Amino acid sequence: MLSIFIRFMSWSLLGLSVLPLPVQAVDNGVFDSSRDWSETQIERYFSGINEIRRADGLAPFSSSGQLAVAAQNKAEDMARAGYFAHYGPDGKTPWQWLDEAGYQPLYAGENLARNGFDADAVLKAWLASAGHKKNIMNEKFSEMGIGIARAAYEGRETIFVVQMFGQPLLDASLSATSQTASS
């Protein structure tokens, strides 16, 4: 019963933010998830976000492989299916992506952006949006994963960026156990 309550609480605290940005004309409608290009962009997003957090006195995010898998799968799904939303046209929720990646959150959040050709511009736009900034600066989140996919969307070449945040349930359990053991 406690597990169900904790999971419900983590879902109810899920922070969701969407950021549509201006887009450029497209030559073709081919879905592209080029890993080399994506990894370079992901590194730029990750380092930029952690610089912002450090400047505000917050701990930087750790990289989570599971959150990265969830974010990449979501970005690729949006690119393939042609939607831009937290909930898929099939009703799939953000936390279902986390479940499929094996991530068990105590807290979780998601930011979306499209046309993420310039990581610095997306970061500035996210910080100018109260909901996005709240997720980025949330002290309850300790880990982050980012996914990027490129495809035609509404007749234009678009980069879909998915940023997933979390505090794993396991870390919270271990922290509580170590506090009890040291008392």
Domain residue limits, the chain: 65-169
Q: What percent of the chain has pLDDT over 70?
A: 72
pLDDT value, residue 171: 59
Which is nearest to 79 in space by CA: 88, 69, 67? Answer: 88
Q: pLDDT digit string (tens) for 119-159?
A: 888 999 999 999 999 999 999 999 999 999 999 888 888 99
Half-sphere exposure of 131 (CA within 13 A, CB side): 13
Q: Of 90-104, 140-154, 161-175, where does mean pLDDT reach its minimum?
A: 161-175
Please check the confidence at residue 19 and state whether its pLDDT lies above 80: no
Q: CA–CA separation, 1 vs 7, rounded Å? A: 10
Pairwise pLDDT comparison (180 vs 76), residue with the higher score: 76
Answer yes or no: CATH 3.40.50.720 is held by domain 65-169.
no
pTM of structure: 0.77
How far is the C-alpha of 151 from the C-alpha of 28, rounded, in Å? 9
Tell me what pLDDT residue 37 has. 59
